[in-house]
Structure 1
Amino acid sequence: MSVSEDKVSGEEVGRLKAKDPDQGENGLVSYRLTEGDGLGVFELTTDSQTREAVIKLKKMVDYETKRTYMLRIEGSNPHVDPRFIAWGPYRDEATVKIMVEDADEPPVFVAPSYSFEVEENAPAGTQVGRVHAKDTDVANNPVRYMIPRYTDVEQFFSINSEDGMITTTRPLDREAQPWHNISVSATEIGGHHQDTKVRVNIRVKDVNDNAPEFATNNEILMCETIMPGKVIETVSAVDKDEMAHRQHFTFSLAPEIAHNHNFSLKDNRDSTASIHVLRKGFSRLTQDVYFLPIEISDNGQPSLSSTNTLTVRVCSCDSKDTILSCNVEPYVLPAGLSTGALIAILACIVILLAIVVLFVALRRQKKEPLIVFEEEDIRENIITYDDEGGGEEDTEAFDIATLQNPDGANGFLPRKDIKPELQYPMRPGLGSAGGNSVDVDDFIKSRIAEADSDPTAPPYDSIQIYGYEGRGSVAGSLSSLESVTTESDLDYDYLQSWGPRFKRLADLYGTKDYPMNDMDDVEDS
């Protein structure tokens, strides 16, 4: 029989059965392993139903380690009649050869885990270390390596898929992340493409790339009455780099205040420094805060230094140097300026503000009437508009006054103190009602002819309105007052030729005698 190397402990490998001729197929038979090289790998049990010997795997087998096992199994009758013991033995043995079958297994890493180190700020492409896995199958397929992205989200590292060499993709910062724990996957090329993973721990080695700084940034509170030579503070420093027992800090005042007359610094040579007061007579009214720039250096390779500012605040204290207040008190007015004078100053300020507000309000009120007055101030101003409408080109294209006074177009302005027939010259081709008269129809035709021949005239679809009553009337202008105020010497006999419609007028003006009944009819009309 055979067993695959991928079977787990407890799985059945095979069965065999011994038969007692006296008891038949279902006779009781007990089985046991007597010898063989597989006693520690396999175990033997009996099936209660079929009375068969069941061979099971006790622990996993490895095809690459051992490919065959030999077992000797004994089957015996547990119930032997004493009368027939001498005829025995009542047992039998069988040799079982078990073949181990090769299974397609994933690659196996040489080490259960890997640990590497890489220097901080090393350039991209720096080699970190190599991992190695192999295919344990007989085929011994090549292995491909990769880093699962979920174990290196920011992709600090890359791996050569063929030889398993891990390199950096960018400089690493130990202060940001001192350890990087990633996984490397190995997959066989060919077969069932099974893979296996191994843990890789990468430690970032520290490099002195951070300058030291104050351990705390608290203010120093100092009494106004402090005596010279007293220590007001002992400062210490820290470094973000990896602290070592040999690391040491030195302190000194910045060069710009090295010779100040207020404070001094003493380096205690134990990575601390003491701040001393040089004088007395500090006052919050004169200066309540002092700033001390202090240079701190480490002993790294290379050595780094930084300037940190220490704040010293002057406070009010009692006789026992207990701090009472560190706030700046308001400046006390001189004794000569009384409370009444202060109130008078404030009153003047308020009055000035009120005057300014009143002045602004009056200016706003003045602007409103001016705007209304300007809107109501209608004057005969000439306003020019550039918009078009009614089919006209624009309001500047022609002078409408010419239409209201056709004689003005030719430079002739009529006079109102003489009769029309005396001041209008005869126009050839015009006048159907007399030699000196101008017919309205002829006038319109003349204007149409002028508009057709004038390139600057309005378009054809424009409406032209002429405020012209015509001239040549014997009666003169209708607006003349002489016809109603004085006796007219004009001859109105021509009214007889105007037809029945003008008979009443002809009767009234055609004779000097007016019958009373006719006058009544005129009044009635």
Structure 2
Amino acid sequence: MSMPSVLAVAMVFFMIPGGVLSDMRGTQGLEAQQLAQGSTHLHRRLKRGWIWKQLFVPEEDPTPRVIGQLKSDSDQGESFIKYILSGEGAGDVFEINEYTGEIRTLKKLDREEKAFYVLQAQAINRWSNEPEEPQSEFIITVQDINDNVPQFQNEPYVSSIPEMCPIGTTVAQVTATDADDPMFGNNAKLIYSILQGEPYFSVEPKTGIIVTSWQNMDREAREQYQVVVQVKDMLGLSGGYSSSTTVTVSLTDVNDNGPTFQQHLYTFAVPENAAIGTTVGRIMAEDGDTGINAKMTYSLEGELEESTFIIKTDPATQEGVILLAKPLDFEVKRRFDMTAEAVNDHVDTRFLSLDDFTDRTTVKVIVKDEDEPPVFLSPVYEWKLPENAAVGTVVGSVSARDTDTVNNPIRYSVDKRSDITKAFKIDPNNGTITVAKSLDRETAAWHNVTVEAKETSKENSQTGFSILDINDNVPRLARDYQPYICEGTQAGELIQLLSAVDPDDPVEGHHFYFSMVPEKRINPNFTIRDNQDNTAGIVARRSTFTRKDRTQYLLPVVVADSGSPVLSGTSTLTISVCSCQPAGHCPTGGVEALALSMGVSLQTLLGILFCLVEVKELELPETVSQKVFYYGESGVGGGELDFCQPTVPMRPHPRRRERRMRREDVRASIRMSLRESHLIGPEDEVFKQFILDRLAEADQDPYALPFDYLQIYAYEGSGSPTGSLSSLDSSTLESDQSVCSPRPSLARLTPWYGAREEDTLF
């Protein structure tokens, strides 16, 4: 039996079981099925088939490796079959083992560069070069890994939305792509998130649509936002790649602001001889909007003002320009008071009511007097007289008057150019015209004479000049106010009444306007109520002021005058929060704080200071002339200091004790006693015994100091409701006499520490 017959028998035997290989043999499957069913063509030569699995190679793998095997079902391992590979990448990307059919990679592959390769395989008989299998085509697929960063498309992103738009308004959509395989795993599954722009904006994670998430975004507060959006692959899981982009979002304007005049009063001055069409002044109502939403129309309201003045809107600046429409006369009307109104041309009631699109202010126009020429009672005078009228004959009189309020005297004269013959003359004071020389009708039947009238000051009058005031001083508060608010103050209560002064002297008198600083008009704590009478009040807006929360508030106050131009000044007031006494009095902050920090009352400190001054002034070597301060039950207010008569004579001091103490030590001991006094109460046994011992020692010592000796009290006890040591406000101490009662008994004595200048102070 020849070799081919043996192979054919082996092939038939290999294909019979179960038909398993028939699915992998391509076109030979049908023949194998027929053979398994007992076909009558058993001696027919069958086509052999290829055996292989689907081939994959991971991208970016630099290591050469076997990725699969091609095999003919006629290959029994005798190595007589030779495998040949051709097609895309054959030889440089892939190679095949001609004996085994194993396919190996030769270099790193990139799926994004080429996702698959189409190759052809051939199996031939190594000895006869005859094909054992027909040439077959197969595909090697490059398997994706996550090696690409997602990239945003169509950058940069710029968008605009109207201000005050509702939550959920679509702003923009950002789109990113990933070069990885979208069909393989999560490598190209993208998810979006906000890195910057919250809480104003949010993004839909899967679509990249950005929407608003904040209500009432105000363009006047902030016009532009930078929203940073991040995209991540792998559905945002760790290990993925990410990139970001910036979306510039601008707010477009809507009409959510009405016009607002910054001045309560505009004052202008115009001369009475101003021409029609003269610009009297400009007023301005500010509008936070822009473009068409900021356009406004001005109008004037008043008794005669509609015909005397008109107002037009300057399209470039949106100012109201007041123009003169009729001649003025200072002697007829000297001042015009008008109301100017500004109204938005385009209103949007979605955001404001109709009234909010209108604002009003007061306009005052003062007419300035001008020196006008005299006016003749009649513009033309005509007289007839005989030609033989004698020289000196009165022809007639002309009369003119000064229309100004000063009513200056008038002097008359004949224009020499109008009477070349000089036939007439005029009295300069009363305007009487007389014949100056003989007349001849035949020579001149008519004489046209032009008379001039001029104002002149009265004879022997003095000429004075007054300096006209201009508004060149800034108004200010009338004094250095130091307002305070009690802890129990209720909302709406008046805290401080303000007034103002201004060195200027306007003709119409001062008129001041009080207000908050424009950029801080809404103050949660206080408001300023303008009384429209040159005064204003600071009013509390809430009822929760406590020193524990805050001890001081700063309140800027703007004071504006009514001059032209309007000047204003800002003063910052410091409002202190006080735990006020029953009468509403707020103690001085500095001394009060010092006393509280030492545990001693204000009156105690004053008493100690007074004592130190007394000790310093008296330096008598042998006698001591000092005053005794003690608490008596008959003092004012109970437990307060008694000032009493008569004067107790001093006892001589025959000797000095050996133990001396410097004045600095005395002061240090006083300070120490003050620090420690609050630790010892009147019920303390040590304290009581100390008082008894000191009193007994003083009574038995023949050399004790006189009764008018200074006793320093470091503890007051519960006798005084104010907690002070003594009151120094009720009397003035005289340096040459004692102010004390006789030495008190123990029953009347409030606990104290006593000391002489030479003694040690306990």
TM-score, L = length of structure 2: 0.27
Structure scoring higher RCO (CA < 8 A, sep ≥ 6) equals: 1
TM-score, L = length of structure 1: 0.37
Q: Which has the larger radius of gyration?
A: 1
Compare the two structures and name the one with the higher helix fraction: 1
